[in-house]
Amino acid sequence: MDFSWDDLRLFLDVARLGGLSAATETTRLSAATLGRRVTALEKQVGEPLFHRSQSGYRLTQAGEDLLERAEDVEAAMLSLKRWKEGAVGARVVRLSAGSWTSAFVASHIGDIWTVEDRFAVEFVTAMQKVDIGRRNADLGIRNQRPTEQWLAGRLIGTVAYAIYSGLNLINGIKAGYFVGVTGEGGQTHAARWMQARHGDRIAVRGNDAMSVRELVAGGAGLSVFPCFVGDSDPRLVRVASPIQELETDQWLVSHHEERHEPAVHAVADRIADVMKRHGALFRGETPRE
């Protein structure tokens, strides 16, 4: 019986995510196409792999057995990929994080990577979660503990948020206006908080984190930033205490099969160390006088 790796990979997504709808996001296939591929795989196996219901897909015993074996194949394919990368170039450790966190880690790259390392580092900056389960990244810095069974998480700190103005009380800042966020950045919990409480006083908006900071520094209005951003920029001034309801934990996330891989493990430990050394800054405990 010859199994296709592509079919097994689709099966893994459906099994791990508990249904077709969720798996459409990771596979980029329609639910109808996924359904046909799963049915074809069941015919190949000779028995049902899932109990189907309105609440989702639950593995049968045959499905559990195939899941265990498919994960072995996945690990072998990953090993083959690593071998190929080692043969043609350095191992690449991909780190996913939001704009501010990526910028912070990048500014400490000397603590994360050196020319003596036998691997490269690639930053994958995105507002939405990058799928570590499908190896779109090796490590991710997130504000929530991972719930997926194939991901491992390490608590590396706490992030505080506060309202900041520009150094000079001019223009929109003087009038008490705010600078809002549009696009993907507008979906963060800080942007939603600001819209809910100060939406009627938002006069200017930016669609990315960096432009919002420049607008505030230029006097367009007040805005909410993580304290490690606002307290590190000499052009910004914190105007109130950190907002307790916006405080989040910071988790370093990896695939449970890759977390002990030497390059990934090394980068993870170094990032955790950097975050620990700068913990007070992230917690908002070091405001500038």
**Cβ-based burial of 33 (10 A; exposed 0-12, middle 13-18, buried ≥19):** middle
Q: What's residue 85's pLDDT?
A: 64
The answer to whether 255 touches 149, Cβ cutoff 8 Å, is no
Q: How many CB atoms lie within 10 A of CB 282?
A: 23
The answer to whether 157 touches 276, Cβ cutoff 8 Å, is yes
Give the whole-angstrom CA distance, residue 220 versus residue 212: 9
Residue type, 248: T
Q: What is the pTM of this model?
A: 0.68
The answer to whether 221 touches 178, Cβ cutoff 8 Å, is yes
CA-CA-CA-CA dihedral for 182, 188, 191, 195, to nearest 10 = 90
Q: What's residue 149's pLDDT?
A: 78
Helices (H), 89-204: 99-107, 109-112, 171-175, 189-198
Helix (H) or strand (E) holding 76: helix 61-88
Q: What's residue 130's pLDDT?
A: 60
Q: What's residue 269's pLDDT?
A: 96
Q: State the pairing for strand pair 139-142/151-159.
A: unpaired
The answer to whether 75 touches 5, Cβ cutoff 8 Å, is no
**Cβ-based burial of 114 (10 A; exposed 0-12, middle 13-18, buried ≥19):** exposed
Q: What is the pLDDT of residues 193-211, one digit of tens each?
A: 999 999 999 999 998 889 9
- The residues pairing with 132 across neighbouring beta strands, listed in sequence order, are none
Q: What is the pLDDT of residues 11-50, one digit of tens each?
A: 999 999 999 988 888 888 999 999 999 999 999 999 999 9
- Of 182, 187, 165, 183, the residue nearest 174 (C-alpha): 165
Q: What is the DSSP string of 172-209?
A: HHHHT-EEEE-GGGGGSHHHHHHHHHHGGGEEEEESSH
- The residues pairing with 251 across neighbouring beta strands, listed in sequence order, are 142, 155
The answer to whether 38 touches 100, Cβ cutoff 8 Å, is no
Q: What's residue 81's pLDDT?
A: 74
**Cβ-based burial of 241 (10 A; exposed 0-12, middle 13-18, buried ≥19):** exposed
Helix (H) or strand (E) holding 216: helix 209-217
pLDDT along the chain (289 residues), means of 10: 87 91 87 93 94 91 93 84 62 90 96 88 76 72 86 94 93 93 87 94 92 95 97 95 96 86 93 97 85
